[in-house]
Amino acid sequence: MPDYDFQSDNRPFSQVLDDIGAKDDPKLYLGELVNAFGERGFGALMVFFGLINAIASPIPGSTTILGAPMLLICLQLVIRRDQLWMPKWALTSSLPRANYRSTIGKVRKPLLFVEKLSKPRLSFMSSEIAEVLIGIVTTLLTVIVMLPIFGGNLFPSLFVALFGFGLMQRDGVLIGAAWLGVAGFCIFVWAAWALIVAAFETSVGWFQHLV
């Protein structure tokens, strides 16, 4: 497995993504991503896998596989690991670099826009306690992502990516936006479920009345 050193901690996240894609090696290893993102590996990989899962979400079964590394990352936030750990089999797994370039190309413009606006602020939103809470909610979101729901895991994937970007940039505003998004998503799911239950009960009552 190639071991590249992009010195990512000294450069914008978008530049690191571009440099990873510019390499000639046709295979992109997960271990390479871990090395490239350096000390901000937790947040950066949450962004990466969140975006990958968001794009892959219409493909049945794809997020079940792609969500596994993201779940492992989020769980490590909960237990407060200082350094990101991945099993050897995961580090040596790879994907075509051409597919990576295609995926990054789809999200590059909005990523650059958010990156330009982000900056360290509202530090309490990325404190140790806040990170544990973020780890818990992103773990639950990742479980949803991994379920075989056609298109239903798009927003959970994006929320994980937004949390990751906020942690990586230490930007409390982005983290707050992610929390608001999760709250709105929960309200939507609850309202949709209540509507389905009400419709089902109405249908049953109507059928019983006919009988």
DSSP string, 55-109: HHTTSTTHHHHHHHHHHHHHHHHHTT-SS----HHHHT-EEEHHHHHHHHHHHHH
Tell me how far apart the 2 most distant CA atoms of the chain are, in Å: 72
Rounded distance, CA 2 to CA 97, Å?
A: 13
Beta-carbon-side half-sphere exposure of residue 97 (alpha carbons within 13 Å): 15
CB neighbourhood size of 69 (10 A): 23
Beta-carbon-side half-sphere exposure of residue 41 (alpha carbons within 13 Å): 22
Distances (CA, A) of 172 to 11, 57, 140, 178, 181: 20, 27, 21, 10, 14
Strand (E) positions, the chain?
A: 27-29, 94-96
Residue 2 maps to a domain = no
Residue 123 maps to a domain = yes
Residue 1 maps to a domain = no
State the pLDDT at residue 70.
86
State the pLDDT at residue 8.
44
Classify the phi-psi angles of 118: left when phi > 0, otherwise alpha if psi is within -120 to 50, otherwise beta. beta
Q: Which residue matches tokens 């000294």?
A: 10
Distances (CA, A) of 34 to 48, 64, 97: 11, 21, 15
Residue 63 maps to a domain = yes
Residue 30 maps to a domain = yes
Residue 191 maps to a domain = yes
Residue 203 maps to a domain = yes
The two beta strands, 27-29 and 94-96, are antiparallel
State the pLDDT at residue 138.
94
Q: What is the pTM (predicted TM-score) of this model?
A: 0.82
pLDDT tens digits in sequence order for the chain, 211 residues long: 444 444 445 678 888 888 888 888 888 888 888 887 766 678 888 988 888 888 765 555 566 667 788 888 899 889 888 778 888 887 888 778 888 888 888 888 888 888 888 888 998 898 889 999 999 999 999 998 888 777 677 889 899 999 999 998 899 999 999 999 999 999 998 998 888 888 887 887 777 777 6
Residue 3 maps to a domain = no
User: What domain range includes position 88?
Assistant: 8-210
State the pLDDT at residue 3.
47
Number of structural domains the chain divides into: 1
